[in-house]
Amino acid sequence: MAYNSLYKLFYKDSSGYVKEYENRFNNEESVKLDIFIGENQAFFCPDTGVYKKLVSIEKIDKKINYLYSKLPKVAITQFATRCLIDEIVLTNNIEGVHSTRREINDILNNIPDNKKKNRFVGLVRKYKMLIENENIKITDCEDIRRIYDDIFSEEIKSDNDRNLPDGKIFRKNTVSVVSSTEKELHSGLYPEKKIIDTMERAIKFLNNRNVEAIFRISIFHYLFGYIHPFYDGNGRVSRFISSYLLSKNYNNLIAYRISYTIKENISKYYDAFKICNHKNNKGDLTPFLDMFLDIVQTSLSQLFDALQERVCDLEYYKDVIAKLPGGNKGEIYEMYWYLVQASLFSDSGISIDDLQKCINVTYNTLNSRKKQIPADLIIENKYERKKYFMLNLENVKKYLK
């Protein structure tokens, strides 16, 4: 059952509105923040519904970890890369920034050689850090600015350098969030001194280990949007930070599902901001917490379903491979095995270089073995100058008759 916001209660039951606010604010379960939303002190009051969602999230995460443990390392890396590409395309799309899967894939495959020639290199590089389980420091405002610079400085410089931060750390002028009809929906905090002070308080709360991690991540996501420290890129920086923090507390694949789920529930996402920003909601951030828990729960559920389906398919093809041409030979079976994983878990396939590393043979030996597999069983994709291969699962059927 959805949390009944004070914003809605104000119109439904004006007589009981003040009393309900006082009950929530003074509830022993309430967590009060050293931050004000307008004229009201921010707080949230986790109810039974919130805790049920928390338990559900932890249960699904354990189920994902079990499936994860059954997968080969190559499959995990391929699936993570596939999800990463989707996440970047969608986090851009939410902000009206166009990017394609192929464009992101090309950057990802050429990161060592790419000196920020493409506007999305910083964003791709940062998300790639999540696959590699690197730590990112978030203890002060300078850390937030560093994340922003790593992701967006080159992109925004090339698009419109007037949108680059012009203050000591953040922006020094005003900024507004507007609708498609140019109606102001929210005005970010101002002046910069207030932005810095409020962000420092938000970061302090984010690092308060006395509060459940998922609660801190959810509330910080809201606060970042409320503060709106930059002229441009706020949404993508905020979603990246949430993805990073979630990856440190749950299976790290969750980092590449958040934007997908937000995009699917974009109206609820924006409505939660609208409700919590409004003066009639009196600083109660529980509606946003409730919505964000739904986002995480849905993301994990969809991730579990996607992995479970692929694990079942992998088990099936593990037995089928031996029935394919040459599949009864150990070295050809091994080729099929990696090509099947590429079909099920990757977006573009497995490269010759990666195939060589997996099988640990020379290029000539690999090529010789590949020729023993019928051409109609291999799909070849080309990205820039590299070739990628996967098994044609549709054509597998005709060899099993």
- pTM comes to 0.92
**What is the per-residue pLDDT for 71?**
95
Return the half-sphere exposure (C-beta side, CA atoms, 13 A cut-off) of residue 322: 6
> What number of residues does the chain have?
401
Taken in order of first residue, the domains within the chain and their CATH numbers are: 6-306 (1.10.3290.10), 325-399 (1.10.10.10)
- CA-CA distance, 86 to 256, in Å (whole number)? 7
pLDDT tens-digit readout, 350-361: 999 999 999 999
Strand 386-391, strand 31-37: pairing: unpaired
> Which regions of the chain are under pLDDT 70?
1-2, 111-118, 160, 179-182
**What is the per-residue pLDDT for 289?**
98
Q: What are the distances in angstroms from CA 146 to CA 240, 248, 397? A: 13, 19, 52
Sign of the torsion formed by the C-alpha atoms of 156, 157, 162 and 167: positive
SS3 percent helix, strand, coil of the chain, rounded to 5, is 65, 10, 25
**What is the per-residue pLDDT for 369?**
94
pLDDT tens-digit readout, 182-197: 677 788 999 999 999 9
**Chain centroid to CA 152: how far?**
17
pLDDT tens-digit readout, 370-381: 999 999 999 998
- CA-CA distance, 356 to 359, in Å (whole number)? 5
- CA-CA distance, 26 to 20, in Å (whole number)? 10
**What is the per-residue pLDDT for 247?**
95
**Both structure tokens of 140:** 């002060």
**What is the per-residue pLDDT for 188?**
93
Which of these, 393, 396, 389, lies nearest to 339 by C-alpha position? 389
